[in-house]
């Protein structure tokens, strides 16, 4: 089976048009066809939190982010988990958008109750008032991260512009539920995480680099 084409985040050319497509050395998930395209996209791209898989591993994935971004990630991690349950297991959670309900709020509240019992996953500023604001954010229907809408892996990739964003959301939900995501590998021994091997690989791929300029792709033919 032929591999999927990669797409430049700036000009949208594909690897079929530009065979030497390279990835940002910092996030290792965003493709560019040239240094000029990376420079053009940098103001937007630099807002992405670096090294997300390392942050998932040390439980700081939600730290040092604006409140609305945290709300969005929490809702989308839940929505991705819910969608995977339907896609891979045919599970329609009661009182959810998968059973005809107007909103999946009850399931999200249950998700948050479990998350609240996992020390360190929520940022230090989180409290019951913030959770209420998060629920209202998801219930408004005005946001993409809406508890009133179903979501797919393709939707997540298109919205965030990050091919590995579904993986990030799934790994976060896995930390919350302490079990593999629907459709994932079978669980390992008690206390183990089925995503540890993949996370270790993603962490190894994540690059550093300081300063305000973009960390240019290696091996770029200029």
Domain co-membership, 172 together with 75 = yes
Domain co-membership, 80 together with 148 = yes
Domain co-membership, 217 together with 181 = no
DSSP the chain: -PPPPPB-TTT--BTTT-TT-EE-TTTS--EESSHHHHHHHHHHHTTSPS-HHHHHHTT-TTTTS-HHHHHHHHHHHHHHHHHHHHHHH----TTSTTTT-S--HHHHHHHHHHHHTSTTSS-TT--HHHHHHHHHHHHSSSSSS-TTS---HHHHHHHHT-TTHHHHHHHHHHHHHTSPPTTSPPP-STT--TTHHHHHHHHHH-----SSS--PPTT---
Domain co-membership, 37 together with 83 = no
**pLDDT for position 16:** 87
Domain co-membership, 188 together with 216 = no
Range of the domain at 159: 52-205
Asked if pLDDT for residue 32 goes beyond 60, the answer is yes
Q: Specify which residues 31 forms β-bridges with.
A: 23
Nearest Cα neighbor of 205 from 73, 94, 52 is 52
Domain co-membership, 115 together with 16 = no
**pLDDT for position 221:** 33
Domain co-membership, 145 together with 91 = yes
pLDDT class of 222 with cuts at 50, 70, 90:
very low
State the CB neighbour count (10 A cutoff) for residue 202.
22
Q: Specify which residues 132 forms β-bridges with.
A: none
φ/ψ of residue 7, rounded to 5: -125, 135
Domain co-membership, 68 together with 29 = no
Distance of alpha carbon 27 from alpha carbon 207, whole angstroms: 7
Q: State pTM to two decimals.
A: 0.71
- With contact defined as beta carbons under 8 Å apart, do 80 and 151 qualify? yes
Distance of alpha carbon 77 from alpha carbon 222, whole angstroms: 39
**pLDDT for position 160:** 83
Domain co-membership, 104 together with 44 = no
Can you read off the two tokens belonging to residue 148? 């009133």
Stretch among 106-115, 153-162, 177-186, 206-215 having the lowest mean pLDDT: 206-215
Who has greater pLDDT, 88 or 4? Answer: 88
- The total number of structural domains in the chain stands at 2
Q: Which residue in this structure is represented by tokens 């479990």?
A: 114
Domain co-membership, 121 together with 29 = no
Domain co-membership, 34 together with 139 = no
Can you read off the two tokens belonging to residue 177? 């539920």
Domain co-membership, 78 together with 165 = yes
């Amino acid at each position: 089976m032929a591999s999927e084409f990669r797409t430049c985040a700036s000009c949208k050319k594909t690897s079929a048009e530009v065979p030497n497509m390279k990835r940002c050395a910092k996030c290792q998930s965003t493709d560019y066809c040239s240094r000029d395209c990376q420079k053009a996209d940098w103001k937007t791209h630099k807002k992405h939190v670096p090294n997300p898989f390392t942050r998932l591993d040390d439980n700081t994935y939600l730290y040092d982010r604006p409140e609305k971004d945290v709300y969005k990630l929490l809702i989308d991690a839940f929505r991705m988990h819910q969608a995977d349950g339907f896609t891979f297991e045919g599970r329609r959670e009661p009182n959810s958008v998968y059973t005809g309900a107007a909103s999946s709020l009850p399931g999200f509240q249950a998700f948050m109750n479990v998350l609240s019992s996992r020390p360190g996953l929520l940022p230090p500023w989180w409290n019951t008032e913030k959770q209420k604001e998060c629920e209202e954010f998801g219930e408004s229907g005005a946001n993409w991260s809406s508890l009133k809408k179903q979501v797919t892996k393709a939707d997540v990739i298109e919205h965030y512009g990050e091919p590995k964003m579904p993986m990030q959301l799934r790994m976060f939900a896995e930390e919350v539920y302490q079990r593999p995501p629907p459709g994932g590998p079978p669980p390992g021994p008690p206390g183990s995480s089925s995503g540890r091997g993949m996370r270790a690989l993603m962490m190894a791929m994540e690059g550093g680099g300081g300063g305000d300029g973009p960390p240019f792709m290696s091996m770029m033919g200029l």
